[in-house]
Structure 1
Amino acid sequence: MKIQAPTKSYSFASIAALIIGAGAYGIGLFNADMALNEKGYYLAIILYGLFSMVSLQKTIRDKLEGFATSKIYYTLAWVSSGFAIALLTIGLINADLLLSEKGFFAMAYVLSLFAAVSVQKNVRDRQAFSAETNPAPELIEQPVQ
């Protein structure tokens, strides 16, 4: 399989999307008129969501590349990602926020999750490309003497 390194513009756009999405979510959370424990809930949900999506992307990529991946971890990554999105959805449905605020938090959340997956993919692609073009010295075949 030929690995192609991600372009700099795509890598930059992915990082910018992650910063913009997570930053907007954080600024919105900081400025929201809600109790501190509710803000903590939404902060924990985005951190959980980011981690679960990166873990899911890594697990899927490992499986595609032939690395040993346990079925339980693969399933757990999918379930965890689903729970993260469901917890935000349930929280926003029950929140005492304007509909526009709910939409803002949902869009910033989805942008952040997508960008985290994209950044993780770029990191993996760049590492695979680097390993393919510059193999470790111990992996280069030495002539038999």
Structure 2
Amino acid sequence: MQVSIKQFTYPGLVSEGWCDVDVLSRPEEVLVVLRDQGDHPSTSVTNVIEEVKVQVAQRILAPSGLVGLPTTWVAWSRVDGILSLVRFREPGYWSPEWRFMSPQGFRALLRQFGQAGLLEEWLREGSIWLKEIGGADELPPPRPA
């Protein structure tokens, strides 16, 4: 299943913001890609990621029957063109942990969900651009709270 929403709105610190949201699923897991866009004057996804996660869960994951499945979150920053894997400490949505993700790692992740060409499509349409960052593509195990 794939759900794509352009200009998914979320409450920003001063005014409403929006991003492109893509939800990909397989029977055993979910991938959520948040692509922050520069066509609004509000807070970036990076600065309100916890609230964006709540909104995505309520407005997309729950109605699609995807709540409770292991979910991987990837956020793309409009400011610096960097992809990040984001892990939220459960059971709450707070205290996100960020890990830079290479374009190659992101392509591999999309391929696992049967969407190998999706990144190239976004690059062609200009809704994403990437800066290569060295480092691991995997999140470390959660730290004790």
State TM-score, norm by structure 2.
0.24
Q: Which has the higher strand share?
A: 2
Higher RCO (C-alpha under 8 Å, 6+ residues apart): 1
State TM-score, norm by structure 1.
0.24
Question: Could you say which structure has the larger radius of gyration?
Answer: 1
